[in-house]
Structure 1
Amino acid sequence: MKRTFSNVASYLKPYGHLAVYAVSLLAFYAFIRILGVAVYHDVIDMAEVPRLFFNGMRVDISGLGYILALPVLLAFIRCVSPKSVGIPVLIAERLYLLLLGILVIFMELCTLPFMEEYACRPNRIFLEYLLYPSEVTGLLLKGHLAAVVVVNLLMIFVFIFLLRCLKKIEYVKVPVKSTVFAVFILVGGLTFVAARSSFDHRPFNLAKASFSTNQIVNALVANSGYSLASSVKSMLAEKSVSYKMLQEDEIISIIRDDTGFDYSVATDKQPTLNSLVASEKGARKNIVIILEESLGAEYVGYLNGSNLTPNLDKIYSEGWGFINMYSTGTRSVRGIEAVTAGFTPTVNTSTVKREKAQKNFFNVASVLKKNGYHSSFIYGGESHFDNMRAFFLGNDYTQVIDLNDFSNPMYVGSWGASDEDLFNKALEHFDEMNSKGQPFYSLVFTSSNHDPFDIVESFAGKVRNRETAVRYADYALGKFYEEVKSRPYFKDTVFLVIADHDSRAWGNELIPVKHFHIPAVFFGGGIEHKSEFHVVSQIDVPKTLLSLAGISATVPTVGYDLTNLPSGFDGRAILQFYNNFAYLKDDGTLVMVLPDEKVSFCKYDFENRSVSDGMVNEKLEKTALAYALLGEIAYRRGFFLMK
């Protein structure tokens, strides 16, 4: 009996270190999860914690199954090969385990700092930021230096520890018998079962692991390596997540019925084309969009926020202000595609970065080009970031002005020239256009209100935080407002101040609706003071701007012209948060469209900014689904391609 056991043990020995490796990583995953529960205990229902850890263990085991598949194969090759082959294989195995171990542990160490900012595990956002090392380095060194130092010190320790442990793996050759192959099949089979972690038709995935209505709980269920790998897979495939489906014809029909636009100009290739008849009948006006970085309604006094924006509040008191404007997403490029093109959000990356949208993609500039306008994008940072420069120049913007075009800026921070420098440059450009008698449109994108809040030292003093950055952004906006009012072209220009998104989409809801609430106010161009209380969306901006400027056009966007709302208009907004969508109505009805064909009906309390259970409404469910599915269909079918 002892001899039999000894023989079996000798055949299992080549795989022993992999078992230790797996158990060690499982323990580390659990440790980070425990820390996460401790940090977020105030927003977590403790009754969900046992299931959180159980599902988390399934995620970890599944991930380890994929990680260990190659080492299991290498261990088998090593133990049945002569030394001349076995040693190189051993070295390859050690190197693989070292690199994967470092990557896994690094990602877990990054988890809590990342969750603090984005309320989720490292995902697509994490990957996209890696494309811009200079911006990310500046952000980390100026805003998160302590975390960088701690993580790097820990990683040095991890590297040394793993190196010493992996050196102990020895070349062991066992007699080539049928038992060797039987053990390999057993170990390989267990690895396969672990990776699949399900006997269902489809293998285990993060959608199956998610069980809570609390996004923090679902984030902690995952591990960061698995989350990142899922994002890579999604980016490579660029496929829609599995929602309840509608036929394309039904989607178009629902959208048309819901909006009630004049679709007589629509075609089979562009079924959302509709006619915009401008409400302004006088001389055509210039257009300026001031896109404020990360300025959520929570900071705006006029919107019952934190009273950090006296200058924006003043603009609200003098212009046409929207009390219930909602962003389509939580990223700048999502805001850009909505504000400039009226494009509904998708689970995939913004059209600003997608291949089919790099040329002839409908936006405000493409309409204005036909009307003789000069269009520009003005940004204080590097315009290549998030592919903005290529997108704008490929889609009828005449000029991109960025940091490289600023002469002696007053202050340059991590994300570029200060907002004061930006507005000075914008005024210089507007003055030049006006002196030439050239009608113009400009998208002016601020950046000072962005982590690490690297703003003008004379304003910030020793305090560099979100509140100070908001105050500075508002201060710079106020200076611009007072200066531009004195310009001769002020009365001939429609201005819009609107945020791209809130600072952080934070909360324990599946979709933190209150963090999609943003400011939006029009001024100049004969615009009188009034307030609009309907729920509206960033996708309504393009039509509204064109209408105010006196430009009629044929457009593919299904946003509204807010100057000419239909009788009985029932406001709505479309929100996208990672793989979740929401459709919000004037009365607070909230339909959430979730992966795995789930739909949730809720009620949003605008006063308390909270979400509660709501009544099932099958008609609204189909409408919400139609808007959730429209963006991806519009992109793939080319609804917005105007040539």
Structure 2
Amino acid sequence: MNQAVATASPPLFPGAPVHWWYRTGPYLNLFWLLVGGLVLLSASRIALVAWQWQRVTAAGLPGEIFVQGMRADLIVLGYFLAVPLALAPLLAHARTARLWTRLTAWWSTLALVFIGFLELATPQFILQYDVRPNRLFIEYLAYPAEVFGTLWHGYRLALFVTIAATIALALLVHRALAAASRRMTMWPSRVLFLTWPLLLLTVILQIRSTTAHRPANPAMFALSGDALVNSLVINSAWSVLDAVSAMRKEARSSEIYGSVPHEQVLAQVTSAPWLRGYRFPSTQLPTLHHQQAAYRRDKPLNLVIVLEESLGATFVKSLGGLPVTPELEKLKEEGWWFEQLYATGTRSVRGIEAVVSGYAPTPARSVVKLSLAQRDFYTLALGLGKQGYNTEFVYGGEAHFDNMRGFFTGNGFKNVVDRRDMHPRFEGSWGASDEDLFDTSLERLKALHAQGKPFFSLIFTSSNHEPFEFPDGKIALHDPVKQGVNNAVKYADFALGKFIRAAKQEDYWRDTVFLIVADHDNRVYGNSLVPVNKFHIPGLILGADVQPKHIRTLASQIDLGPTLLSLMGISSDHPMIGRDLAQDSETPGRALLQFDNYFAWLEGDSATILRPGQPPLAGRYDAASGDLTLDRVPPPQGLVDRAMAHVMLPSLLYREQRYRLAP
């Protein structure tokens, strides 16, 4: 940097006016970071609000979104300004002018490109998850091959547009800041040291954005009962950075809703009607108890769980959805059919932890991916293994995805079969087709049966996953364009029906209980704070001597484990807090739903919603219409206590490593 930069630079063009913003001196690049960031984020918010105008107006917040949105933008930009500003007393001098100029130019460029990239990625993320990029955006980055395959086959145009626009933004910002840097002047050190504390204090207040006891956080901007509209108020950069921060604190994640004494948590949970009759003798393993099976059998039954990817009630006609699952509709008359079964979350790993471990949801990542749950964490496989069962997991993709292989092999699954062990006739971005998966499973079940030992097999499908690739000529298409979710569901249903028909011909059918259940719905969206209807999933238990029955009570995925053990004739010790519906499927039930940072407790038609940093909300859920209506009055304290206990307990058990069997 020449001497002109260190003191006063001549105009870029002779005779050109020197604009007032050049008086920001060494803070010129930071000034443009602030201004450019506000322009970029405001333009993005205007476009998003225009796109979602109907929901924004329904929430009654058009003006407030922009006012509070500007406040949120200033907060996130304050974080980006604070880092270089803290270095100003060391570097913003004439002798280090070149280093300071380059540092602030590159920092501002990277910050604006980061902000811009996330805003460009936001529309596609909203289409999938009905909310701005959040922790899911971060979690998927661990699996670039699968994510890129999905983007390439399903969102190629959006991918190209986002990349091209990001590159263009990077070039534009870099050139603009490079030009601005040539006009930067260094202030005398005396002026710098006098003004710097005031600027730093201003940025700190900008980040804090409130005079309240605690600084502003994303929860303060939840202004409506529509989660998407709330997310439009903030910006995607803050949403993602807040998710990163939350993931670092996830062992204590449930504390975002408040605090409850440990003994009160356990007392509330174990007072549930289906747990009152059990003894909990271990203080070290507080939920461990002995469950006596409702069915007494000389020889316990085998177990096969078919976990269907994204097969929500949306696609099941008898549950109020589309007529794209004719095979499942036929099968439901042959076993126990759940009419009001709800998933615990919106990710496959959340469904896995609930179905396979009976573990309740938390705001943290699923235990499938958490370090303290990678060994001796309770699963049905771990418990059945102690009963002499052979246990295995069969998946058409790469089993390392979402850390499934690590979690399963460390917690009772003796064998893992995935894409590498198959010879598929059709392979998509996510691996072997469901038909190839089930063909391999039929071979595996026959081999397990031949060993003369009881077995448990978990089969996880993947054809109903974006970009919805499946073989031609298998089904009559529901939609004219083949590669869509409705056709993918219909193919998954076709493959499932084919599998069950083949299994019925095998000797093990009469000795095996089959559970068919979804991990979650395809897309969870809606104008409710928690779109409860999108958590509704089908569930069916059939096989062996299971008689046809419709279970109409409210049920959760965490109820399936205890119910299956009871049907199989397995009396055992386990830590699951779910309900044994083989003992009682008539009395009222409950469901637990985790949606981003919101936790919903359903009991009858009442919904209690816990929110981070805010009071709980009460609502009414109409299962027939799928509508959630929020009340103006707070929820009854009893419902709040039950909700708090059930969201706090799993975090406590995980943190203290107490969700396990006795040594």
TM-score scaled to structure 1, two decimals? 0.95
Q: Quote the Cα distance in structure 2 between the aligned partners of 1:569 and 1:354.
A: 35
String of CA shifts for 1:136-189, please: whole Å, max 9, x gaps: 110000000010111122122112211211212037554535322222222222
Contact 1:263 1:274 in 2 (8 A): yes
1:39 to 1:9, Cα distance in 2 relative to 1, 3 A: closer
Q: Quote the Cα distance in structure 2 between the aligned partners of 1:93 and 1:500.
A: 47
Residue matched to 1:69: 82
Contact 2:26 2:187 in 1 (8 A): no
Corresponding residue to 2:36 among 19, 24, 42:
24
Q: Quote the Cα distance in structure 2 between the aligned partners of 1:341 and 1:588.
A: 27
Q: Quote the Cα distance in structure 2 between the aligned partners of 1:563 and 1:343.
A: 19
Corresponding residue to 2:468 among 438, 450, 453:
453
Residue 635 (structure 1) shift: 1.1
Residue 16 (structure 1) shift: 2.8
Residue matched to 2:270: 256
Residue matched to 1:569: 587
Residue matched to 1:207: 219
String of CA shifts for 1:346-393, please: whole Å, max 9, x gaps: 000011111111111111111111111110000000000000000000
Corresponding residue to 2:443 among 428, 444, 447:
428
Corresponding residue to 1:313 among 314, 329, 339:
329
1:372 aligns to 2:381 (yes or no): no
**Bigger mean CA deviation after superposition, 253-262 or 622-631:** 253-262
Contact 1:310 1:474 in 2 (8 A): yes
1:172 to 1:157, Cα distance in 2 relative to 1, 3 A: closer
Contact 1:376 1:443 in 2 (8 A): yes
1:598 aligns to 2:615 (yes or no): yes
Residue matched to 1:162: 173
Contact 2:25 2:185 in 1 (8 A): no
Q: Secondary structure at 1:600's aligned position in 2?
A: strand
Q: Quote the Cα distance in structure 1 between the aligned partners of 2:67 and 2:444.
A: 59
Q: Quote the Cα distance in structure 2 between the aligned partners of 1:558 and 1:106.
A: 43
Q: Quote the Cα distance in structure 1 between the aligned partners of 2:481 and 2:528.
A: 35
Q: Quote the Cα distance in structure 2 between the aligned partners of 1:81 and 1:266.
A: 72
Q: Quote the Cα distance in structure 2 between the aligned partners of 1:135 and 1:177.
A: 53
1:272 aligns to 2:293 (yes or no): no
String of CA shifts for 1:371-420, please: whole Å, max 9, x gaps: 1111000000000000000000000111000001002x011111110000
Residue matched to 2:507: 488
Residue matched to 1:221: 233
Counterpart code for 1:225:
A
Contact 1:242 1:596 in 2 (8 A): yes
Q: Quote the Cα distance in structure 2 between the aligned partners of 1:55 and 1:103.
A: 22
Q: Quote the Cα distance in structure 2 between the aligned partners of 1:141 and 1:451.
A: 10
Q: Quote the Cα distance in structure 1 between the aligned partners of 2:621 and 2:133.
A: 28
Residue 501 (structure 1) shift: 0.5
Q: Quote the Cα distance in structure 2 between the aligned partners of 1:547 and 1:9.
A: 74
Q: Quote the Cα distance in structure 1 between the aligned partners of 2:244 and 2:532.
A: 27
Residues 54-65 of structure 1 correspond to what in structure 2 (within 5 A)?
54-65=67-78
Residue matched to 1:135: 146
Q: Quote the Cα distance in structure 1 between the aligned partners of 2:630 and 2:131.
A: 23
Contact 1:209 1:221 in 2 (8 A): yes
Q: Quote the Cα distance in structure 2 between the aligned partners of 1:89 and 1:20.
A: 15
Residue 77 (structure 1) shift: 4.4
Contact 1:263 1:273 in 2 (8 A): no
Contact 1:78 1:87 in 2 (8 A): no
Contact 1:74 1:90 in 2 (8 A): no
Q: Secondary structure at 1:551's aligned position in 2?
A: coil
Corresponding residue to 2:420 among 389, 404, 407:
404
Q: Quote the Cα distance in structure 2 between the aligned partners of 1:103 and 1:441.
A: 46
Q: Point out where structure 2 has 5 or more consecutive residues left out of the alignment.
A: 1-17
1:629 to 1:401, Cα distance in 2 relative to 1, 3 A: same
Identity value in percent: 38
Residue 244 (structure 1) shift: 3.6
String of CA shifts for 1:20-71, please: whole Å, max 9, x gaps: 3311211111111111112212222263111111111111001111101233
Residue matched to 1:297: 313
String of CA shifts for 1:535-590, please: whole Å, max 9, x gaps: 00100111111111111111111101110028x722111111111111112x3111
1:342 to 1:100, Cα distance in 2 relative to 1, 3 A: same
Contact 1:78 1:173 in 2 (8 A): no
Counterpart code for 1:474:
D
1:394 to 1:629, Cα distance in 2 relative to 1, 3 A: same
Residue matched to 1:583: 601
Contact 1:262 1:274 in 2 (8 A): no
Q: Quote the Cα distance in structure 1 between the aligned partners of 2:184 and 2:494.
A: 70
String of CA shifts for 1:55-105, please: whole Å, max 9, x gaps: 1111100111110123334555444231xx321232222222222221110
Corresponding residue to 1:328 among 344, 361, 365:
344
Corresponding residue to 1:148 among 131, 137, 159:
159
String of CA shifts for 1:259-279, please: whole Å, max 9, x gaps: 434442431112212221112
Contact 1:369 1:375 in 2 (8 A): yes
Counterpart code for 1:58:
R
1:46 to 1:617, Cα distance in 2 relative to 1, 3 A: closer
Q: Quote the Cα distance in structure 2 between the aligned partners of 1:200 and 1:533.
A: 47
Q: Quote the Cα distance in structure 1 between the aligned partners of 2:166 and 2:639.
A: 50
Q: Quote the Cα distance in structure 2 between the aligned partners of 1:516 and 1:46.
A: 22
Residue matched to 1:419: 434
**Bigger mean CA deviation after superposition, 607-616 or 205-214:** 607-616
Q: Quote the Cα distance in structure 2 between the aligned partners of 1:211 and 1:173.
A: 43
1:176 aligns to 2:188 (yes or no): yes
Counterpart code for 1:432:
A
String of CA shifts for 1:272-316, please: whole Å, max 9, x gaps: 122211122122111000000001101112222111100011110
Counterpart code for 1:86:
A
After superposing on structure 2, the runs of 4+ consecutive aligned residues of structure 1 that deviate more than 6 Å are 8-11
1:89 aligns to 2:100 (yes or no): yes
Figure out how many residues of one structure are paired with residues of the other and give that number: 633
Q: Quote the Cα distance in structure 1 between the aligned partners of 2:647 and 2:388.
A: 35
Counterpart code for 1:411:
F
Residue matched to 1:610: 627
Counterpart code for 1:592:
I
Counterpart code for 1:178:
R
1:95 to 1:184, Cα distance in 2 relative to 1, 3 A: same
Contact 1:322 1:531 in 2 (8 A): yes
Corresponding residue to 2:112 among 101, 106, 129:
101
1:176 to 1:301, Cα distance in 2 relative to 1, 3 A: same
Q: Quote the Cα distance in structure 2 between the aligned partners of 1:157 and 1:174.
A: 30
Q: Secondary structure at 1:21's aligned position in 2?
A: helix
Contact 1:311 1:475 in 2 (8 A): yes
Residues 396-545 of structure 1 correspond to what in structure 2 (within 5 A)?
396-407=412-423, 409-459=424-474, 463-545=482-564
Counterpart code for 2:593:
L
Contact 2:25 2:186 in 1 (8 A): no
Q: Quote the Cα distance in structure 2 between the aligned partners of 1:261 and 1:485.
A: 38
Contact 1:287 1:442 in 2 (8 A): yes
Q: Quote the Cα distance in structure 2 between the aligned partners of 1:512 and 1:556.
A: 29
Counterpart code for 2:305:
I
Residue 524 (structure 1) shift: 0.4
TM-score scaled to structure 2, two decimals? 0.92
Residue 326 (structure 1) shift: 0.5
RMSD over aligned CA atoms reads 1.9
Q: Point out where structure 1 has 5 or more consecutive residues left out of the alignment.
A: 1-5
Q: Quote the Cα distance in structure 2 between the aligned partners of 1:9 and 1:385.
A: 50
1:347 aligns to 2:363 (yes or no): yes
Counterpart code for 1:242:
I
